[in-house]
A = this chain, B = another copy of it.
């Protein structure tokens, strides 16, 4: 089997610390499971801007395009907040998504039994929650043209962004939604605003066509985005797979993440189209941000990044067994009572980033 090319981009803030814990797991895989990676590490976000004057250098982008998978920490921080738009850390993230063609963002929202109490929602509403939000990631308002700010003759200004989707863009994300649902509970809820936005009328029509043509074994329903936000709060367990466009997905997936009460636990995967050999470009990252307030203090929760790495093993390297082992180890560590500050509960033991990482490896 060819070498497994893995590019690690720790990014900014706590990204660096949490990624160090993934390194431990990679070491363990080499020693105990004889699984070797062709590893490299690069800069992205503010860290890249500081060295290269751009949040994503051509060199790093080339490495990402050549890798079998990319593992990312987080980007951003107050240090770079006042940079011009095109130099902001976020531009690096958006550029790597776009250039790698990562149109499918998988955002599972799951509640770990040990942490059901951490949610601001009543335990019975969220316990056992296991839904998958699938967000389109390279289209819509984020990338549509025309865009920009124009100064009008009278000195006032006008800001424009464009929401645009094509048949093909909707079909390819729809296909991923239906395929995911087939491995789960066979229900897809497509979220749009088809009562107002023509762009999402197209979205809905294409979803319906696709389901009828290729996925009649999967149930398809539709929901307006405002109602979806309400239903997530009212009864999140009603969903199986929710699929939606980029901007709606940004909002709803973060809302769903917060329902779990433990943002520091949630992984994500972003996948591209398969190439001739069936290989998909892929990037894995925790849902949480760079948390500049606790960066460098060995306080961050490394579990979301560790679980993102487990997703990476599962989806990019076909190592389901090892992914299962890591996920089980994380659950065992939680059950054993260890907690980082963000998920701390009365009666549990508060530990550092490093101790949490070590505990997962020990459990393995």
| Residue in B142, B157, B203, B230 whose CB lies within 8 Å of A202 | B157
Task: Decide if A78 is an interface residue (CB 8 Å cutoff).
Answer: no
On whether the beta carbons of A198 and B161 are closer than 8 Å, the reply is yes
Which residues of B are found within 8 Å of A164, using beta-carbon distances?
Answer: 158-160
Which residues of B are found within 8 Å of A147, using beta-carbon distances?
Answer: 197-199
A166-B156 in contact given A147-B198, A229-B229 (Cβ < 8 Å): yes
Task: Decide if A200 is an interface residue (CB 8 Å cutoff).
Answer: yes
| Residue in B156, B160, B229 whose CB lies within 8 Å of A199 | B160
In the complex, A200 Cα to B159 Cα: how many Å? 7
Q: Which of A238-292 contact B (CB under 8 A)?
A: 247-248, 250-255, 257-259, 263
Interface size class of A (residues with CB under 8 A): 35 or more
On whether the beta carbons of A255 and B229 are closer than 8 Å, the reply is yes
Which residues of B are found within 8 Å of A159, using beta-carbon distances?
Answer: 164-166, 197-203
Chain A 162-174: CB-based contact to B (< 8 A → 1; otherwise 0): 1111111000000
In the complex, A201 Cα to B149 Cα: how many Å? 8
Which residues of B are found within 8 Å of A141, using beta-carbon distances?
Answer: 163, 196-197
Task: Decide if A295 is an interface residue (CB 8 Å cutoff).
Answer: no
A229-B247 in contact given A85-B198, A201-B85 (Cβ < 8 Å): no
On whether the beta carbons of B255 and A193 are closer than 8 Å, the reply is no
In the complex, A198 Cα to B167 Cα: how many Å? 26
Q: Which of A134-168 contact B (CB under 8 A)?
A: 141-142, 144, 147-149, 152, 156-168
Which residues of B are found within 8 Å of A200, using beta-carbon distances?
Answer: 159
On whether the beta carbons of B157 and A167 are closer than 8 Å, the reply is yes
Q: Which of A289-338 contact B (CB under 8 A)?
A: none
A202-B149 in contact given A122-B121, A229-B254, A258-B233 (Cβ < 8 Å): yes
Instruction: State the majority secondary structure of interface residues on A.
Output: helix
Task: Decide if A41 is an interface residue (CB 8 Å cutoff).
Answer: no
Which residues of B are found within 8 Å of A148, using beta-carbon distances?
Answer: 198
In the complex, A159 Cα to B148 Cα: how many Å? 20
A46 to chain B, nearest CB (A): 13
A331 to chain B, nearest CB (A): 24
Q: A residues engaging B (CB < 8 A)?
A: 76, 85, 88, 90, 94, 120-122, 125, 141-142, 144, 147-149, 152, 156-168, 193, 195-203, 206, 225-227, 229-230, 232-235, 247-248, 250-255, 257-259, 263
The 10 closest A-B pairs by CB, nearest first: A159-B202, A159-B199, A156-B167, A229-B255, A230-B258, A226-B254, A233-B258, A161-B163, A90-B195, A120-B125
New contact pairs (5) apart from A147-B198, A229-B254, CB-CB < 8 Å: A90-B196, A141-B163, A159-B199, A160-B198, A229-B258
